[in-house]
Structure 1
Amino acid sequence: MERPASVICLLAIAIGVSVRDARTRIIDNASCIFITVIGLAFQSLRALHPEAVLSVPGWGRFAERLNTPAFCILFSMLFLTCAVAIEFLYRRFTQQAGFGLGDVKYASAWAPLLGEWILPALCIALLAGALVAWLRHQETFAAGPWLSVGFYSALLALMFAP
């Protein structure tokens, strides 16, 4: 089965983010920007030349399962706004960091590509990470690796599931 270069690129970025966040608890801006650019380019191509997207193996099926390109982009902006607001409110009332703004940026970077599918992927990723942290008796955990697995799994499921 043919894999477009962009899918391999996203995997490489997801692995890089996972390793760095697991070691340092930092998610770099460059990775977030690159993923955002891929998502926005994909949605722009869907809007301007849908037939081109539908002809690419994997991406065609993925595109058919998403809402409209405009919805995906608007949803990603709403997602970013809500995620930042929730993080700032949490910090204000508890006087401590919650999710972390690097994690918020990373999740928001995937939103233009995944559209509304970002929400179930985010929930599954964070629940899995929290469960493993709880089983290991950890008070905190690096969310980046779990987010990478959740978002990339959602991408592959939407591309290749029957």
Structure 2
Amino acid sequence: MIDMEPITVIVETPKGSSHKYDYEPGLKCFKLKKILPAGLIFPFDFGYIPDTKGGDGDPLDVIVISEISTFPGCCMDCRVIGALKVLQTERDGSTMRNDRYLAVPIVSQLFSDVNTMLHLPEDIINQLENFFKNYNEQAGKKFEVLERVEAEEAYRMIKA
């Protein structure tokens, strides 16, 4: 078993939002990127791990499983509980890895015993996968989950 230190996550889009925000480093602010179709909302806070880079060239994406909703720019310490290895196909047909990491805030009370995806109800993972499939379809992209990975492997992927 490896020693997994907490990661810092910066929230871009809060749980329950139908607006997608992205951090714009050049402007040093969060910018409204898109409005989701009626009925489609982010099931949990969505953000990124600073000083990392994913297959899409952006910082690594994180879904923060929590009982609360925060705000764009909220910074929190989280423990990694797993990841979805993902293949994303753009509108132009190009394909890249764009994995989604799952984490729980260190301060969470409801999810305080969740240390791995195995501790989550299967419905939560299915809901997340379906959300991202629908979200990408709306943008003319394809989102394919290749594999679910547990906490230690996800942590190693972040630190690689």
Q: Would you say same fold, with TM above 0.5?
A: no
Q: TM-score, normalised by structure 1?
A: 0.28
**Higher helix content, 1 or 2:** 1
**Higher strand content, 1 or 2:** 2
Higher relative contact order (CA 8 A, sep 6+): 1
Radius of gyration: which is bigger? 1
